[in-house]
């Protein structure tokens, strides 16, 4: 991805499963102008899903071509279907001044960082491992062993936090959402290209 300064910003919200990144993203999209990135997938559309809104639907062959052409910010295979983030679609939005949020696991976020280091990387943390255990246990779908494995996996994932710009502890959801919204607002106040344009305008005025 080129280093052109876009007026829109790419926020990557990431973190271990159970930390609540999905809920935070949903609130962010509902309460601000930030838009969710639309993924590309090889799976078939489900009833009610719209092309370009829910997903960009594509064939396995075309998805493979996208991978080879470097057209994806990141991608993953889930149950035999591919899911990925089309770079060009994201760039179009950013160039038009729209903020985009990507909700993604840690490995995916690290891949995005390789190709788009100027993204803003936010790590969502659970308030404690005890609380995370409670949240996962609450879902009731996993055995004790599976939960223990998940928690030690979480510890490994958390060690990548120094690759991130921000971390938000999701104890109280409202507070966590407020923090993410503050990050979005603050990042738009960074000294950047647009300020130099304002300063050029000052010069013409004096």
Please report, as ranges, the residues that interact with a copy of itself according to CB under 8 A. Answer: 122-123, 125, 128-130, 148, 151-152, 154-155, 158-159, 161-162, 164-169, 178-179, 181-183, 185-191, 195, 198-199, 201-203, 205-206
| Min CB(107)–a copy of itself separation in Å | 18
Please choose, from the candidates 153, 122, 107, 152, the residue with its C-alpha nearest in 3D space to the C-alpha of residue 25.
Answer: 122
CB 181 within 8 A of CB 32: yes
| Min CB(152)–a copy of itself separation in Å | 6
Nearer to a copy of itself, 139 or 203 (CB): 203
| Min CB(108)–a copy of itself separation in Å | 18
Nearer to a copy of itself, 1 or 132 (CB): 132
| Min CB(164)–a copy of itself separation in Å | 5
CB 145 within 8 A of CB 191: no
Q: Which CA distances in Å does 62 have to 86, 143, 158, 164, 186?
A: 12, 39, 34, 32, 39
Query: Residue 151, exposed/middle/buried by CB under 10 A (0-12, 13-18, 19+)?
Result: middle
**Rounded to the nearest 5 degrees, what angle is found at the Cα of 58, between the Cα atoms of 52 and 110?**
80
CB 84 within 8 A of CB 73: yes
| Min CB(104)–a copy of itself separation in Å | 17
Nearer to a copy of itself, 6 or 166 (CB): 166
Nearer to a copy of itself, 33 or 88 (CB): 33
User: 45 Cβ partners below 8 Å, 6+ apart?
Assistant: 51, 54, 55, 57
Nearer to a copy of itself, 96 or 185 (CB): 185
| Min CB(53)–a copy of itself separation in Å | 30
Q: Which CA distances in Å does 166 have to 10, 15, 147?
A: 14, 11, 27
Nearer to a copy of itself, 76 or 151 (CB): 151
């Amino acid at each position: 991805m080129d280093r052109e300064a876009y007026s829109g910003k790419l926020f990557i919200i990431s973190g271990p499963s159970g930390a609540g990144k999905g809920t935070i993203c949903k609130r962010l999209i509902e309460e601000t102008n930030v838009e969710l990135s639309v993924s590309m997938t090889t799976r078939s559309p489900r009833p009610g899903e719209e092309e370009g809104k829910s997903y960009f639907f594509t064939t396995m062959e075309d998805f493979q071509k996208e991978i080879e052409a470097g057209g994806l910010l990141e991608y993953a295979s889930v149950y035999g279907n591919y899911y990925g983030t089309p770079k060009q679609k994201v760039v179009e939005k950013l160039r038009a001044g729209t903020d985009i949020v990507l909700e993604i696991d840690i490995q995916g976020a690290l891949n995005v960082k390789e190709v788009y280091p100027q993204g803003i990387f936010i790590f969502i943390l659970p308030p404690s491992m005890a609380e995370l255990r409670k949240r996962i246990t609450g879902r009731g779908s996993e055995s004790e062993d599976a939960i223990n494995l998940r928690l030690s996996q979480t510890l490994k994932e958390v060690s990548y936090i120094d690759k991130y710009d921000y971390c938000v502890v999701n104890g109280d959801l409202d507070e966590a959402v407020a923090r993410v919204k503050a990050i979005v607002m603050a990042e738009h106040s960074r000294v950047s290209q647009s300020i130099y344009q304002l300063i050029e305008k000052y010069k013409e005025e004096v």
